[in-house]
Amino acid sequence: METHQQIGLPDWYGPLAHRGLAVNLGMEMLELSRERVVATMPVDDRTRQPFGLLHGGASIALAETVASFGAAIHIDRERFAAVGLEINGNHLRAKSDGIVRATAVPLHLGRSTQVWSIEIVDEKGRLVCVSRCTLAIVPRDRAK
């Protein structure tokens, strides 16, 4: 089995990789760097709405996941946590199967807030969703 370091992910990501909503929705982290975060998510029964299309909430969950991990790279994770403050998304293309890929890049890296831009695309690189996520950087004792 590959370690996270072998596939280019930071060691601190390892314990987090197998718990939470991201696991339940089948998200897979591909890149986690200071410049960008990339992850995929399947479009299947876990992520489709009752009419057979990718659920907008699943896209937003993917967007917030990549933004949150991106924010975590830029803070002292022992003392601070990055928590969602606001997120929006525009759903531009329907998707009924396959995989979507989210790429998050920082727009603002402040001391108390970060803003990330996220593009979610299909296998052909066509935009499925664009999102912007604002995260508050708070002391760990306030994040509970």
CATH code for position 78:
3.10.129.10
Question: What confidence category does residue 144 fall into, taking pLDDT thresholds of 50, 70 and 90?
Answer: low
Domain count, the chain: 1
- Calculate the alpha carbon distances from 27 to 22, 79, 107, 112, 114 in Å: 5, 27, 23, 28, 22
Classify residue 32: in a domain, yes or no.
yes
The pLDDT assigned to 17 comes to 76
Question: Which tens digits make up the pLDDT trace of 93-132?
Answer: 999 999 999 999 999 999 999 999 999 999 999 999 999 9
Question: What confidence category does residue 89 fall into, taking pLDDT thresholds of 50, 70 and 90?
Answer: very high
Classify residue 5: in a domain, yes or no.
no
Half-sphere exposure of 98 (CA within 13 A, CB side): 12
Secondary structure (3-state) at 67: helix
The domain of 130 spans 11-142
- Calculate the alpha carbon distances from 60 to 9, 82, 119, 128 in Å: 22, 17, 11, 11
Active-site option among 64, 78, 119, 123: 64
Mean pLDDT for the stretch of residues 16-25:
88
Mean pLDDT for the stretch of residues 74-90:
96
Classify residue 4: in a domain, yes or no.
no
Classify residue 94: in a domain, yes or no.
yes
Secondary structure (3-state) at 88: strand
Reply yes or no on whether 64 is catalytic.
yes
Secondary structure (3-state) at 119: strand
Classify residue 2: in a domain, yes or no.
no
